[in-house]
Amino acid sequence: MPEKSQGPGGWPPATIILTMAISLNVSMLSCFILSAQRFRSTVDYKDIRLNIGFRADIIFQDKVLIELKSVYKLLSIHHKQMLTYLKLSNLKLGLLINLNTALIKDGIKKIVNDL
């Protein structure tokens, strides 16, 4: 995994996304990276239709949304953002991963949507 090669702040997030995907594929698990695609949705607000969306970092086995952050500390806004992403994508499970930790396992938070 990338954390064994580089410590916090070692690689840019795009590189870490690719190295995680390679590590997952080496483990014979399917991983789908959305590099140009977005989840799209519409919201009606005050008689105006808004086209909204987001770009997922990693979708794992079409079931788990993985969102990468590199922040001092995960805040409640990050959890709320992940819940919004899960709702827009119609997925139930997300992993919020803070890359700014000594060990990646210490920065992983599981987020569930209506389970």
Q: What is the pLDDT of residues 22-69, one digit of tens each?
A: 666 655 444 555 443 466 777 778 888 888 777 777 787 778 888 888
> Which letter, b or e, does each residue of 60-86 get, where b requires 16 or more Cβ atoms within 10 Å of its Cβ?
beeebbbbbbbeeebeeebeebbbebb
- The amino acid occupying position 113 is N
Residues 12, 69: Cα–Cα separation, whole Å:
11
The predicted pLDDT at position 7 comes to 52
First to last CA, the chain: 29
Residues 40, 107: Cα–Cα separation, whole Å:
28
The predicted pLDDT at position 110 comes to 94
pLDDT (average), residues 85-109: 88
Domain map (residue ranges) of the chain: 2-112
Fold of 2-112: Lambda Exonuclease; Chain A (3.90.320)
Bigger pLDDT: 62 or 1?
A: 62
pTM: 0.68
Percent of the chain predicted with pLDDT > 90: 19
CA dihedral 20, 23, 29, 35 (to 10 degrees): 40
Bigger pLDDT: 44 or 98?
A: 98
Phi, psi of 40 (to 5 degrees): -120, 150
pLDDT (average), residues 73-94: 91
The predicted pLDDT at position 29 comes to 46
The predicted pLDDT at position 43 comes to 74
The predicted pLDDT at position 79 comes to 94
